[in-house]
Amino acid sequence: MKSVKKRFKRLLCDIDTSATELADFCTDLALLSDMQEFTNEVLTMVEKLTHQCSKISKEAFSETILATEALAELEELIDNDIISAIEHSLFSTLENHADNAIGLFLQQLLNKIEKQHRLIIAQIQQLITLCTDQE
């Protein structure tokens, strides 16, 4: 079985990939700036955690990584309801959004963004659980 450190690093790579894909999608879309900010913060924390991983021995990994500020900040990010904020931002620009093609388009767009966001959240939760289960 792979060590916790190796699995942690693999999950960091998965989070990086998912967040990069969503960040690329949101780039230069003003109404999605909140999601762009979220993905940038996730990517910053992943970079910090990746750097910190290289300095920690695999024997003390779980205990040490759980005490890092970057992991705590990453955990805080998943508590924000960014999807609701984006939904409000998108639909506040329309009147009677449920009755028109633009409203339908925005709902479909939001569904795709939410799906990728849920994936990132699940990956972050898996990362945190990996370490807490080893204590």
Residue-wise pLDDT tens digits, 5-61:
899 999 999 999 999 999 999 998 888 889 999 999 999 999 999 999 989 888 888
Band of the pLDDT at 134, cuts 50, 70, 90? low
Identify the pLDDT of residue 50: 95
Cβ–Cβ under 8 Å, residues 74 and 124: yes
Identify the pLDDT of residue 1: 46
Q: Which two tokens stand for residue 86?
A: 């984006």
Q: Higher pLDDT residue, 56 or 1?
A: 56
Q: For residues 63 and 70, give the distance between their C-alpha atoms in angstroms, rounded to a whole number.
A: 14
Identify the pLDDT of residue 7: 92
Sequence spans of domains, the chain: 4-81+116-132
Convert the pLDDT of each residue in 59-115 to its tens digit. 888 889 888 999 999 999 888 888 988 888 877 777 655 567 777 788 888 999 999
